[in-house]
């Protein structure tokens, strides 16, 4: 199969903070599907942590969130953990000084994904970092692969690419090209037929 690329625009959602000096907040949906809401919160203070209370006014109920962060410790994006007890679309979180936190909210009853594996050996990306060209390989049956997406830091889908099967039918590969995108952090997400998601971070120089 040859690579197929498609693009989808995110839907930006109104977001505001009552402390513009020390914080900024941005929010977006991946599409008209409200299953996943992305919130990015920045603590701009050099000295103090930021205790946030996040209130979401939406028809969709969100009860869990994956948390990613870039802190002053380094320039890498880290998966910090999850929140599983969001109630009434409200939760509190303490953000360290000079850091950016990315909350990916979802509803456990609407989310059919069985597992998200962020540091896995089945999906291999090289070279990484790169100037925009990446080789992807996946060791599994081609019938188990449903979708591969490239997303940016706020969850916008940059492209979707099909895998190319290799002659031995054990290793499948694809070329990802994001040279036209600005430098930064992206994610490649591979969805299998049984709704597992394998995630790898891409660093574009």
Count of domains observed in the chain:
2
42-48: average pLDDT: 94
Query: Do residues 43 and 128 share a domain?
Result: no
pLDDT of residue 182: 87
Q: Which tens digit of pLDDT belongs to each residue from 93-144?
A: 999 999 999 999 988 766 544 445 554 566 788 898 899 998 887 766 544 6
Looking only at the bridges linking them, the beta strands covering 115-117 and 196-204 are parallel
Q: Which tens digit of pLDDT belongs to each residue from 77-88?
A: 788 888 988 999
Is pTM, for the whole model, over 0.75?
no
Domain of 56, in residue numbers: 11-106
CATH number for position 89? 2.60.40.1180
The pLDDT-based confidence of 62 (bands split at 50, 70, 90) is very high
Domain-ending residue, one of 86, 106, 126: 106
pLDDT of residue 135: 87
In a domain, 92, yes or no: yes
């Amino acid at each position: 199969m040859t690579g197929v690329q498609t693009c989808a625009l995110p839907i930006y959602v109104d977001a505001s903070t009552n402390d513009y000096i020390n914080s900024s907040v941005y929010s977006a949906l991946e599409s008209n599907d409200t299953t996943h809401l992305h919130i990015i919160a920045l603590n701009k203070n050099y000295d103090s942590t930021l205790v946030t209370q996040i209130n979401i006014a939406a028809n969709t109920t969100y009860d869990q969130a994956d948390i990613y962060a870039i802190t002053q410790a380094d320039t890498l994006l880290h998966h910090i953990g999850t929140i599983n007890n969001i109630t009434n679309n409200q939760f509190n979180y303490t953000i360290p000084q000079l850091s950016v936190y990315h909350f990916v909210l979802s509803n456990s009853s609407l989310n059919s994904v069985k597992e998200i594996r962020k540091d896995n050996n089945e999906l291999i990306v090289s070279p990484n970092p790169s100037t925009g060209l990446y080789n992807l390989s996946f060791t599994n049956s081609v019938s188990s692969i449903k979708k591969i997406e490239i997303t940016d830091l706020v969850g916008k889908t940059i492209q979707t690419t099909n895998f190319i099967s290799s002659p031995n039918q054990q290793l499948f590969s694809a070329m990802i090209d994001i040279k036209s995108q600005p430098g930064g952090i992206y994610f490649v997400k591979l969805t299998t037929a049984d709704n597992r998601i394998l995630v790898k971070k891409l660093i574009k120089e």
